[in-house]
């Protein structure tokens, strides 16, 4: 209703394990984190206008925006993608603030999309529906065929838990996290954006693999040997191995086997580096330093790769004071919320 004041908040995420599996309908194990984006304002008018605490330029998006990718400033494209998806009955004037690093691989864009979607449609509270809306908004904003993981964990996160998401059938199972495990995120210092990255090419290579051996989510271990192209075969080997590692990580968490969990993270990093080719020398060096640190069970790049952040699991306090990189000890947090004030 026009004149209504609305406040929506949406967390970023870190993925414990299961990267580059969601776009093939595979398994992921992310947590929503205690870094978040807040959109607050008043409904009404013909445009969605948001000031940002990170950019001097305001986003002003007409309710009937046609081409979100042509909107400026660049961050306003995500707002425009959501507006094009939601087609709100009235506009919105307010502000966006965030504690997330931007373009750091902690899903700042998904958090923005989800917070804007909830601000424009405070009645839409079903996590999956909002996540799918936000995912389509990202596709509209960037043209990148991203999967559902980031938007779904931002909407559906659970305090103290990771979520095992089957991205093929879209089922979600909370997995409790042990108290004696720190989850630490370290920024590599390499900014990254999915737009212009090889993300779309990797997704296409997965589809090429599926043209030979069928859906990767159903393919048994080792079936990728039937793929003649060595690059496509390597991409498939990563996805099949990563799905198996997600299952093993859920079991390791259930058994409170922290060293096994760490070993799985290390294997995941090696696979993303060697078979999926989304790591960088900077990420590899950072993971190497973390793996060599006493009390660390394992570390890996998290998210799409090509820069961004690394996640480590360790003994409580083992990475306190880590530097020189920006570092966060993150807590598994609840998903997005919206209030009509
Ligand atoms: C990005 C995408 C996700 C997922 C990860 C890699 O974060 O938005 O959908 O594909 O990369 O796991």
Cα 276 to Cα 237: distance, rounded to the nearest angstrom? 8
Instruction: Say if residue 115 is in the same domain as residue 226.
Output: no
Catalytic residue list = 150
Cα 70 to Cα 17: distance, rounded to the nearest angstrom? 34
Angle at 257 between CA 26 and CA 105, to 5 degrees: 45
- Per residue, what are the HEC states of the chain? CCCCEEEEEEEEEEECCCCCCHHHCCEECEEEEEEEEEEEEEECCCEEEEEECCCCCCEEEECCCCCHHHCCCCCHHHHHHHHHHHCCCCCEEEEEEECCCCCCCCCHHHHHHHHHHHHHCCCCCCHHHHHHHHHHHHHHHHCCCCCCHHHHHHHHCCCCEEEEEECCCCEEEEEECCCCCEEEEEECCCCCCCCCCCHHHHHHHHHHHHHHHCCHHHCCCCHHHHCCCHHHHHHHHHHHHHHHHHHHHHHHHHCCCHHHHHHHHHHHHHHHHHCCCCCCHHHHHHHHHHHCCCCEEEEEECCCCCCCEEEEEECCCCCCCCCCCCEEEECCCCCCEEEEC
What's the pLDDT at 258? 98
C-beta 138 within 6 A of ligand 1: no
pLDDT of 193 higher than 80: no
Cα 13 to Cα 102: distance, rounded to the nearest angstrom? 12
pLDDT of 212 higher than 90: yes
Q: 8 and 121 in contact (C-beta within 8 Å)?
A: no
Tokens of 196: 């212009």
What's the pLDDT at 245? 98
261-290 pLDDT, tens digit per residue, is 999 999 999 999 999 999 999 999 999 999
Q: How far is the CA of 231 from the centre of ligand 1 (A)?
A: 20
Instruction: Say if residue 18 is in the same domain as residue 166.
Output: yes
Instruction: Say if residue 168 is in the same domain as residue 217.
Output: no
Instruction: Say if residue 204 is in the same domain as residue 171.
Output: no
pLDDT of 214 higher than 90: yes
233-260 pLDDT, tens digit per residue, is 999 999 999 999 999 999 999 999 999 9
Q: How far is the CA of 222 from the centre of ligand 1 (A)?
A: 24
- Per the prediction, the chain carries an average pLDDT of 97
Instruction: Say if residue 162 is in the same domain as residue 291.
Output: no
Domain hosting 132: range is: 5-176+333-340
C-beta 150 within 6 A of ligand 1: yes
pLDDT of 93 higher than 90: yes
173: number of Cβ within 10 Å: 12
Instruction: Say if residue 171 is in the same domain as residue 190.
Output: no
Tokens of 173: 């199972």
C-beta 113 within 6 A of ligand 1: no
What's the pLDDT at 197? 87
Q: Which atom of ligand 1 is nearest to the CA of 21?
A: 12
Cα 310 to Cα 289: distance, rounded to the nearest angstrom? 11
Q: Where does the pLDDT of residue 195 fall: very low under 50, low under 70, confident under 90, or very high at 90 and above? A: confident
Cα 125 to Cα 118: distance, rounded to the nearest angstrom? 8
Q: How far is the CA of 47 from the centre of ligand 1 (A)?
A: 30
Query: What's the CATH number where 215 sits?
Result: 3.30.70.890
pLDDT of 106 higher than 90: yes
Cα 138 to Cα 198: distance, rounded to the nearest angstrom? 16
Instruction: Say if residue 108 is in the same domain as residue 188.
Output: no
Instruction: Say if residue 94 is in the same domain as residue 132.
Output: yes
C-beta 20 within 6 A of ligand 1: yes
What is the count of structural domains for the chain? 2
Instruction: Say if residue 156 is in the same domain as residue 267.
Output: no
Query: What's the CATH number where 94 sits?
Result: 3.30.230.10
Test site for ligand 1: of 150, 155, 245, most ligand atoms within 8 A of the Cβ: 150
pLDDT of 305 higher than 90: yes
Instruction: Say if residue 103 is in the same domain as residue 151.
Output: yes
Residue 51: its H or E element: strand 47-52
Instruction: Say if residue 187 is in the same domain as residue 125.
Output: no
What's the pLDDT at 103? 83
Residue 68 is classified by DSSP as: G
Instruction: Say if residue 161 is in the same domain as residue 33.
Output: yes
Strand 337-340 and strand 161-166: the pairing is: unpaired
Q: How far is the CA of 11 from the centre of ligand 1 (A)?
A: 16
Test site for ligand 1: of 283, 303, 309, most ligand atoms within 8 A of the Cβ: 303
36-71 pLDDT, tens digit per residue, is 999 999 999 999 999 999 999 999 999 999 999 999
What's the pLDDT at 60? 98
Q: Where does the pLDDT of residue 229 fall: very low under 50, low under 70, confident under 90, or very high at 90 and above? A: very high
């Amino acid at each position: 209703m026009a004149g209504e004041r609305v406040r929506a908040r949406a967390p970023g995420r870190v993925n414990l394990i299961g990267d580059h599996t969601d776009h093939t309908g595979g398994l992921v194990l992310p947590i929503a984190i205690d870094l978040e984006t807040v959109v607050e304002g008043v409904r009404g008018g013909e445009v969605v206008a948001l000031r940002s605490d990170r950019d001097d330029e305001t986003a002003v998006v007409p309710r009937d925006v046609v081409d979100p990718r042509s909107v400026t400033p660049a961050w306003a494209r995500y707002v425009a993608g959501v507006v094009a998806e939601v087609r709100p009955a009235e506009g919105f004037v307010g502000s966006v603030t965030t504690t997330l690093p931007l373009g750091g691989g902690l899903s700042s864009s998904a958090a923005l999309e989800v917070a804007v979607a909830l601000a424009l449609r405070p009645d839409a509270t079903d996590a999956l529906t909002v996540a799918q809306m936000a995912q389509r908004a990202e596709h509209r904003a960037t043209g990148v065929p991203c999967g559902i993981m980031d938007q779904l964990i931002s909407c559906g996160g659970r305090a103290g838990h990771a979520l095992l998401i089957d991205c093929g059938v879209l089922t979600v199972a909370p997995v409790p996290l042990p108290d004696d495990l720190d989850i630490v995120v370290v920024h590599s210092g390499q900014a990254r954006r999915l737009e212009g990255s090889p993300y779309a090419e990797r997704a296409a290579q997965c589809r090429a693999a599926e043209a030979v051996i069928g859906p990767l989510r159903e393919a048994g271990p080792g079936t990728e040997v039937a793929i003649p192209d060595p690059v496509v075969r390597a991409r498939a080997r990563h996805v099949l191995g990563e799905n198996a590692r997600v299952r093993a990580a859920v079991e390791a968490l259930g058994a409170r086997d922290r060293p096994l969990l760490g070993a799985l993270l290390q294997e995941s990093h090696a696979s993303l580096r060697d078979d999926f080719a989304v790591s960088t020398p900077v990420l590899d060096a950072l993971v190497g330093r973390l793996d060599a640190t006493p009390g660390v069970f394992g570390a890996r790049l998290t998210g799409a790769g090509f820069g961004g952040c690394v996640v480590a699991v360790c003994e409580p306090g083992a990475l306190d004071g880590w530097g020189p990189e920006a570092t966060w000890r993150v807590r598994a947090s609840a998903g997005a919320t919206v209030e009509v004030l």
